[in-house]
Structure 1
Amino acid sequence: MSHSKLLVASLAATLFSTSLFAGDDDLSEAAVKERTKPVGSVYIAGAEPVKAGGARSGADVYGASCIACHGAGVMGAPKPGNADDWAPRKEQGFDVLLEHAINGFKAMPAKGSCMDCSDDEIKAAIEHMLEGV
């Protein structure tokens, strides 16, 4: 074997053996979660951070996400407290209304683009918008 081939083979063997032993081989659930946990988070200016220990209120979700379209009735979004806007939606029943809000419907994106909102928080936001209707 020539000197250059021997050098390449030696280098390849070194890299291969190093890669086998360099990583953490603990595959327990806790170890994997620790190695793959997020290293940071994103904060969008003007958005309220998720409060630890509980769901956000309907008013909080509305104010952080829903108001952008529902506040002005953008593309037919029903405005809070406006009985005429909500009447045809209420006729379909609350379950259909909730399903549309969670999964998206027509111009409304799923969860109104509040992807960190739970289904219960979306429900609370709808209930908030329906107050007085």
Structure 2
Amino acid sequence: MSDAHNESIIKTPKQLVGAVVGFFLVTVIGIILLVQYVTADKLTGAGSNSQAPEEIATRIAPVADTGFTFKDVNAPKVLQAGDAIYNSTCAACHGAGVAGAPKVGDAASWSARIAAGYDTLVKHAIEGLRAMPAKGGNPDLDDVEVARAVVFMANQSGAKFKEPEVPAAPAAAETPAEPAK
């Protein structure tokens, strides 16, 4: 056999140690340069400011606090205007004529109802009639608010009803007279 294939550049143990050390040195220097290249620029990405105080406060805020308006049940009620009540409650049926509801602005469908009179219209709106639930399905409405919505819808359809008056608050109890001496 020929010895030509077994010949190597490394002939002594000293050369072997030098080659191994050189290999590790080149590998370590390559890793160091690669790390320097990757970390040289400060890159920002999604979530990079996740430890900022504002971000932490947003994450731990109670879910129930977002998108809700709390009402003070002991505060005096603020009555809404007729158009606001119509838009929030009545328009679902009276805007499209659902289930036989007269469409707002259609004088023909409102004429018989307007002829029945203001008091009858308000009574039917408050108590409900046929497919229409009482107060249009919103029990939180005050009778004055329902009357305002009726006046708004009827006036849009040819009536000339006057806006209902808000009933006065009950008078404060008279102070008791001082006892006689």
TM-score by length of 2: 0.44
Conserved in 2, the CA contact under 8 Å of 1:111 and 1:117? Answer: yes
Say which SS state the counterpart of residue 96 (structure 2) adopts.
Answer: coil
**Is 1:80–1:131's contact at 8 Å kept on the other side of the alignment?**
no
Number of residue pairs matched?
86
Structure 1 stretches of 5 or more lacking a match?
A: 1-44
RMSD of the TM alignment (CA)?
A: 2.2
Separation of aligned partners in 2, 1:102 and 1:92: 15
* Dislocated runs of 4+, deviation >3 Å: none
Aligned counterpart in structure 2 of residue 83 of structure 1, from 100, 107, 122? 107
Residue equivalent to 1:39: none
Residues 1:125 and 2:149 are matched in the alignment: yes
Q: Which has the higher contact order (CA 8 A, sep 6+)?
A: 1
The correspondence of residues 24-103 of structure 1 with structure 2, limited to 5 A, is 54-103=78-127
Structure 2 counterpart SS, 1:79: coil
* Partners of 2:81 and 2:115 in 1: CA distance: 25
- Structure 2: runs of 5+ lacking an equivalent: 1-66, 159-181
Deviations 1:97-133 (A, max 9, x none): 1100000001100001011100000011011112241
2:133 alignment counterpart: 109
Length-normalised TM-score, structure 1: 0.59
Larger Rg: 2
Q: Is the 8 A contact 2:114 2:154 kept in 1?
A: no
Amino acid at match of 1:90: I
Task: Deviation per CA, 1:64-121: give whole Å up to 9, x if none.
Answer: 1101100000111111121111111111111111100000001100001011100000
Q: Is the 8 A contact 2:82 2:145 kept in 1?
A: yes
Q: Residue type of the partner of 2:142? A: S
2 CA distance for matches of 1:101 and 1:68?
Answer: 15
Equivalent position of 2:56 in the other structure: none
Between the aligned partners of 1:98 and 1:53, the Cα distance in structure 2 is 20
